[in-house]
Amino acid sequence: MGIPVRQAVRVGAYLVKQKLARRTKFALTLELEPLFACNLKCAGCGKIQHPANVLKQRMPVEQAIAAVEECGAPVVSIAGGEPLMHPEIEVIVEELIKRKKFVYLCTNALLLPRKIDRFRPSPYFAWAVHIDGLEERHDASVCKKGVFAQAVDNIKDVQARGFRVTTNSTFFTSDTPQSVIEVLDYLNDDLKVDQMMLSPAYAYDKAPDQEHFMGVAETRELFSKVFADGRRNRWRFNHSPLFLDFLAGEVDFRCTAWAIPSYSLYGWQRPCYLMNDGYAATYRELLEETDWSRYGRGNDPRCANCMAHCGYEPTAVLATMGSLRESIRALRG
């Protein structure tokens, strides 16, 4: 099974509501960044370039909740930076759970031992831990030794406490089909996380490492080999089947970045959290005053090699909901 049934049903009902209201653009998942500060400096991260005064800022709880309510997304991914560095992160999570939002808290897991007692398991909450490979590969990715071992130990601890745990793995040109298979096997079979997400690395302009971002052809070749021989069917992914088809080059989609908007200390980021063409004061302004036709592969050269979740998973979800066959396939996993 991929996306949890409770979440799939809720999102499905939400999509039906948007269709009945004849809305053509709306939020499926909000990328909420209540801070930019982090306790790691990963080579592929484009969020570490903010000035010191910005890195010290923390979004007030009321502002974070207002952004979620404004866009209405049923799913909220809390990112950063490292969200566990926010002094009131548990309050933000609690308030969102009260509103029955599905919350994924993205973390490198290093601060979990210090913060875990502030959280309680819920069917509306999951940890989303970044694991970019097995020990050597992951530690190289985050530019610090020992992080993989700490993350694994902390994942096992929160699992024992009854929390749902997902992972997010970013892959670069330095990854091979075998290295990807090995980490997915480990996460799925040994660590037994609930679901996994896959992220082809996006070429952030200000990321320190500019040499290892994959192009579209490389991404498709990698994942078509990773998914071969029936392996894909036994892994537990937090993706729609059509998005996995997209990664492997079996289907193509247009970008619908408006469906996974990014809200941070600066406001609503145009056009997505991977690119920065300015900020809107409101979600409505983001939708109505952004020229979405300018973006996506074939329209903006910065989008040429992008196959990121934030742009293409919403398209896959919409295509799934528009097809009885694909809807049944998604529920079966």
Q: What is the pLDDT at residue 321?
A: 82
Q: What is the pLDDT at residue 323?
A: 77
Question: Residue written as tokens 């289907």?
Answer: 251
Q: What is the pLDDT at residue 101?
A: 98
Q: What is the pLDDT at residue 332?
A: 67
How remote is the C-alpha of 321 from its chain's centroid? 20
Burial of 320: CB neighbours in 10 Å, binned 0-12, 13-18, 19+:
buried
SS3 letters for 152-193? HHHHHHHHHCCCEEEEEEEECCCCCHHHHHHHHHHHHHHCCC
Q: What is the pLDDT at residue 211?
A: 57
Q: What is the CATH number of the domain that holds 263?
A: 3.20.20.70
Q: What is the pLDDT at residue 63?
A: 98
pLDDT digits (tens, 9 = 90+) for 108-152: 999 999 999 999 999 999 999 999 999 999 888 888 899 999 999
Domain with 150, as residue range(s), is: 5-332
3-state secondary structure of 200: strand
Tally of domains within the chain: 1
Q: Which long-range contacts (CB under 8 A, 24 or more apart) does 325-333 make?
A: 326/241, 326/242, 327/12, 329/241, 330/2, 330/3, 330/8, 330/240, 330/241, 330/242, 331/5, 331/8, 332/1, 333/1, 333/2, 333/236, 333/241
Residues of the chain with confidence (pLDDT) below 70: 1-2, 44, 46-48, 203-212, 331-333
Helices and strands of the chain, counted as H and E runs = 13, 9
